[in-house]
């Protein structure tokens, strides 16, 4: 079943550059393998501060960030990013991916500046669909 699912998602994200921010090495590796199989170019970092430094030089199409990280969390990262403004990447679409479930956690994530909130574990299909939805909404908004 997993092989069938992976085949369905193959090359779905071709040409996209995705930044994954997660303090858990295994999670970063899994996201990287799955997203690369779907055709994306993936950069992974282990902290929000490293991500923010990287974003000064690189502009990914989408950011996927864990919320619960030591020191600076995903909420801090997205607030810092949004404060940069559109010319410096503050408008990059971002997904919060977390083990926290519930309306309060989702509401806080969206208020922080994330476009979507996903609860772990996330399937590759769900991740691809969410990335596509966020990008489509971002493109619609940029045309206004």
Highest mean pLDDT among 1-10, 38-47, 101-110, 119-128: 38-47
Best CATH choice for the domain 2-132 from the list 1.10.3720.10, 3.40.50.2300, 3.60.20.30, 3.40.228.10: 3.40.50.2300
Distances (CA, A) of 86 to 93, 139, 142, 144: 11, 13, 10, 14
Average pLDDT over residues 32-56: 96
Phi, psi of 37 (to 5 degrees): -60, -35
Distances (CA, A) of 78 to 32, 39, 81, 92, 134: 21, 25, 5, 10, 15
Average pLDDT over residues 45-61: 96
pLDDT given for residue 94 in this prediction: 97
Using DSSP, state whether 96 is helix, strand or coil.
strand
pLDDT given for residue 5 in this prediction: 46
pTM: 0.90
Chain center to CA of 96? 6
Q: What is the DSSP letter of 93?
A: -
Task: Tell me: pLDDT of 78 over 80.
Answer: yes
pLDDT given for residue 43 in this prediction: 98
pLDDT given for residue 4 in this prediction: 42
Among 14-23, 48-57, 98-107, 114-123, where is mean pLDDT lowest? 98-107
Per the listing, tokens 């193959």 go with 10
Helix (H) or strand (E) holding 95: strand 94-98
| DSSP bridge pairs for 17 | 41
Chain center to CA of 101? 17
Within 8 A by CB and 6+ apart from 116, the residues are 95, 96, 130, 133, 134
Residue ranges of the domains in the chain? Answer: 2-132
pLDDT given for residue 10 in this prediction: 67
Between CA 9 and CA 138 the distance in angstroms is: 22
């Amino acid at each position: 079943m997993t092989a069938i699912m992976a085949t369905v998602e193959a090359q779905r994200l071709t040409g996209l550059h995705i930044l994954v921010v997660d303090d858990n090495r295994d999670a970063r590796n899994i996201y990287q393998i799955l997203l690369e199989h779907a055709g994306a170019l993936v950069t992974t970092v282990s902290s929000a501060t490293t991500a923010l430094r990287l974003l000064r030089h690189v502009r990914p199409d989408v950011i996927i960030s864990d919320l619960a990280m030591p020191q600076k969390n995903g909420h801090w990262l997205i607030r810092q990013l949004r404060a940069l403004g559109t010319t410096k990447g503050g408008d990059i679409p971002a997904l919060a991916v977390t083990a926290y479930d519930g309306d309060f956690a989702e509401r806080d994530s969206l208020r922080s500046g994330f476009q979507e909130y996903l609860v772990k574990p996330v399937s590759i299909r769900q991740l691809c669909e969410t990335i596509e939805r966020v990008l489509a909404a971002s493109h619609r908004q940029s045309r206004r």
